Amino acid sequence: MLLRPAVNESVSFTIEAGARYVVAVDSDVYTDSAAANAPGPRENVSGGFDIDNGVIGLVAANLEVDLSLNPSLLCSFGYQFVLSKNDKNCLGIK
């Protein structure tokens, strides 16, 4: 949902709120890690990291000011949060 109240000819203000479906395209990543303990041996860990799709919520505000005929200044503030947690898997741990 977008709300765009009229401010004046050179200034525009937009408020945005809604949900977005986030697609994780081919998020398979392979990793090698090593953990060293001072008294013990070094332990090597190998595996993958995978993130699935999810849904986020978004609330944002945009302020745009025309500086002259063509250039303008845009300032945006926003906050996004998780609505639907996705499945994630790191080194075999969910």
Q: What amino acid occupies position 94? A: K
Q: Which helix (H) or strand (E) holds 32?
A: strand 29-36
Token pair recorded at residue 62: 């945009």
Q: In 75-85, which positions are buried (b, 16+ CB within 10 angstroms) versus exposed (e)?
A: eeeeeeeeeee
Q: How large is the average pLDDT for residues 56-70? A: 91
Per-residue pLDDT, 81? 92
Q: What amino acid occupies position 14? A: T
Q: Is the CB of residue 91 less than 8 Å from the CB of residue 45?
A: yes
Which residues touch 30 (CB under 8 Å, ≥6 apart)? 46, 47, 48, 49
Determine which of 44-48, 50-54, 67-71, 77-81 has the lowest per-residue pLDDT on average: 44-48
Q: Each residue of 13-32: pLDDT tens digit?
A: 999 999 988 887 665 666 66
Q: How large is the average pLDDT for residues 83-90? A: 69
pLDDT above 70 (res 4)? yes
3 band by pLDDT with thresholds 50, 70 and 90: confident
